[in-house]
């Protein structure tokens, strides 16, 4: 059943759609056996008791594929057995466009309420510190499967970074191909994970092209993030300023490396990988 009320917003984590969003329908959680699946797919299992008795939580139409609507054009009514998708369509599109050369075996949505709560708290702190606008960027970090799972309990450890061209912190990239190409090749573990993360950025320090950021422990002045001169690499220094949304699992293949545009660019310029940040 479609529902709209002033001030209402989608209950799905990280979805910012509100009742005021144009051409957007909202739907109540079902009271039948589908409720548990809706909660799991929307990462709202922590609201289990409230969802059984209240109708104040809704899911917007962005989280349903076309086949779940009676009319895929208007998208204002669901079929009787509709189930929301795990992923937001916009994020899936972003992933597919960026990770085109890897055969993704599965994508797992991350749900750690405590970690997310700390992330939100840090976002509010950053807004108050200097009064500047805080951006939330969608960036990539590539690592092995074991280290990705370990990061959910202990975070990402910058000390495992082999090289720190752009600063001694945790490295992210706005390009999945770049992140995959410059990931650590020394590990014998072939299952890799592209971590799709929300990263808070308030003020950046651009590492000059001619400089080496190996000794950059923290960026100067009020900067909380250092960045490569190309804009491909972001380095974070503080805990709780990034949160993993999804883990995309794939198997490392030699073809991924030689078909990367960064492989071709480096061969053309005669440069070595050693010039760039590598993350664990």
Q: pLDDT tens-digit profile of 9-64?
A: 888 866 778 887 778 899 999 988 888 888 877 878 778 888 877 778 899 998 88
Q: Dig out the tokens for 58 from the structure.
A: 């809704």
What confidence tens digit (pLDDT) does each residue in 80-132 have?
889 887 565 555 555 655 565 667 787 777 877 788 888 889 988 998 876 67
The candidate with the shortest Cα–Cα distance to 144, out of 279, 261, 256, 235, is: 279
Measured CA to CA, the distance from residue 63 to residue 49 in angstroms comes to 22
Task: For 156-193, write each residue's pLDDT tens digit.
Answer: 766 556 567 788 889 999 988 888 888 766 667 788 89
Q: What is the pLDDT, as a whole number, of residue 179?
A: 87
Which tokens sit at 219? 């960026």
- Greatest Cα pair distance, the chain, in angstroms, is 65
| CATH number belonging to domain 92-275 | 3.90.228.10
**249 exposed, middle or buried (CB, 10 Å; 0-12, 13-18, 19+)?**
middle
Terminal CA-CA length for the chain: 47
- The domain spans of the chain are 26-86, 92-275
């Amino acid at each position: 059943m479609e529902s709209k009320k002033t001030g209402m917003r989608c209950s799905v984590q990280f979805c910012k759609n509100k009742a005021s969003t144009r051409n957007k329908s909202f739907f109540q959680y079902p009271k039948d056996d589908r409720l548990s699946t809706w909660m799991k797919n929307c990462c709202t299992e922590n609201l289990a008791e409230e969802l059984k008795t209240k109708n104040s939580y809704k899911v917007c139409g962005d989280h349903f594929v076309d086949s779940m609507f009676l009319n895929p054009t208007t998208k204002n009514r669901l079929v009787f057995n509709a189930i929301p998708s795990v992923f937001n369509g916009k994020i899936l599109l972003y992933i597919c466009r960026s990770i085109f050369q890897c055969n993704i075996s599965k994508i797992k949505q991350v749900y750690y309420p405590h970690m997310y709560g700390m992330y939100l708290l840090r976002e509010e702190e950053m807004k108050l510190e200097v009064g500047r606008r805080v951006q939330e960027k969608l960036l990539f970090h590539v690592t092995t499967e074991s280290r990705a799972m370990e990061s959910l309990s202990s975070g990402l450890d910058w000390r495992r970074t082999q090289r720190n061209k752009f600063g001694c912190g945790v490295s992210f990239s706005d390009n999945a191909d770049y992140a995959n190409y410059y990931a650590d090749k020394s590990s014998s573990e072939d299952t890799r994970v592209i971590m799709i993360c929300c990263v808070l950025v308030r003020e950046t320090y651009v590492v000059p092209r001619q400089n080496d950021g190996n000794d950059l422990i923290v960026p100067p002045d009020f900067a909380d993030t250092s960045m490569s001169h190309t804009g491909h690499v972001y380095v974070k220094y503080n805990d709780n300023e990034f949160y993993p949304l999804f883990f995309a699992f794939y198997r490392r293949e030699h073809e991924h490396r030689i078909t990367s545009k960064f492989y071709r660019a480096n061969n053309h310029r005669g440069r070595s990988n050693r010039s760039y940040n590598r993350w664990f």
